[in-house]
Amino acid sequence: MRRPDYNRRIAVTGLGTVSPVGNDVDTVWKNLVGGCSGLAPITRFDASGYESNAAGEVKGFEARDWMDFKAARRTGLNVQFGVAAAKQALADSGIEVTPDNRDDIGIIFASGAGEPKLMMDNKETWDKKGARLVSPFFIANMLVDTASGQIAIETGIRGHNMAVVTACSTGTHSIGEAAEAIRRGDCTAVIAGSTESPIYEMVWVGFGNMRGIGTPRPGEPIQTVSRPFDLTRNGFILGEGAAALMLEDLELAKARGAKIYAEVVGYGSTNDAWDLIQPIEGGDGVARAMEMALARRGVPADEIDMINPHGTSTPLGDLAESQAFHRVFGDHTPDIAISATKSMTGHMMGAAGSFEGLATVLSVYHQVVPPTINYRDPDPEIQLNISTTARPMRIRYAMSENVGLGGHNGAVIFKRYDGD
């Protein structure tokens, strides 16, 4: 364990993802910039009887490409996605895990809900075949921290390891807490991320009865169902997948000649203390999280060039979020490019924050803002600079922020690395 150094700079040196728009970073970036929707008719269950039948499913994924066959058979999709994303990020970083460094590397990785399918499948087994045939492995593999444990087993990483769970803010908080763990001296590098596999009929029905699931514009393709900040928005659509970022002490990364995508320079975490579902009026909670992220490292509000927002496409959520932007950024708000990638992936729930953090890092690295697709009818109550086409631009600082059930709010800020 090293001495704490709260001025320690944190680099992003590796990225990995499994998502509705691709199962590797290069494919994902190409599709995000190209405005390619990952939404399609649901294949996991018969959704023909529901008003909305689209989702952001992961396509062409093989767990056995990333895990031992036995481990893959026992675990759920969320763990499989998480292991794949983490292994990609580790390989991309160029860090080789050895007996000499494995205690100095950490993992902060979680799921918002774990793996509900294992519970449902084993209840069905119990009902049909009796209690003795319930799997002895299902409890260990259904937890929200199963992914962080399995990633450690798969990689041999033995350092600081935990699962930070804050519903749809889980990934954002994982990134922020990972940066702080390195500054505290708990580790020299951390695989930070999150994963989710929520596309099951019971979950779908629950969100539908909550009136959260959206529908496409009348007479238009199902790909228009997710339209953040648009006047006609009427709810989100479920997505799934995982994303991982390798965070590392910048000086150590420079010393080994690592590729540096960006720096993590801000992190904020707050709660609304208001309602488990609805956002507080004016977006007060997420506004305070953004203010905290700006203050932590002294980032001027007028130097934020881009935001990847929570942007779920819900009437109240998007409005509160836009009000929070105006409170925090004031007259600078119209100058901030808004890139709502949920328009292409759907809402990846616990995986949303890490995937959108990854997308934000790629924007900073490539100096390009991906589009918000499906945005067509401006809402007069939401005055934001919504990017509808891929936009090359100077990005010094970019923010990713998320809001989770339970009133959890998180924000992280990434800075372009110029080699200094």
Q: Hey, which residues are catalytic here?
A: 168, 310, 347
User: Residue 361: which of 352, 349, 369, 351 has the closest Cα?
Assistant: 369
Which contacts qualify for 61-66: CB closer than 8 Å, 24 or more apart? 61/18, 61/23, 66/154
Work out the number of other CB atoms within 10 angstroms of the CB of residue 251. Answer: 12
Instruction: Extract the tokens encoding 41.
Output: 């008719």
User: Residue 390: which of 1, 33, 22, 148 has the closest Cα?
Assistant: 33
CA dist 127 and 284 (Å) reads 47
- ∠ Cα 172 176 178 (to 5°): 115
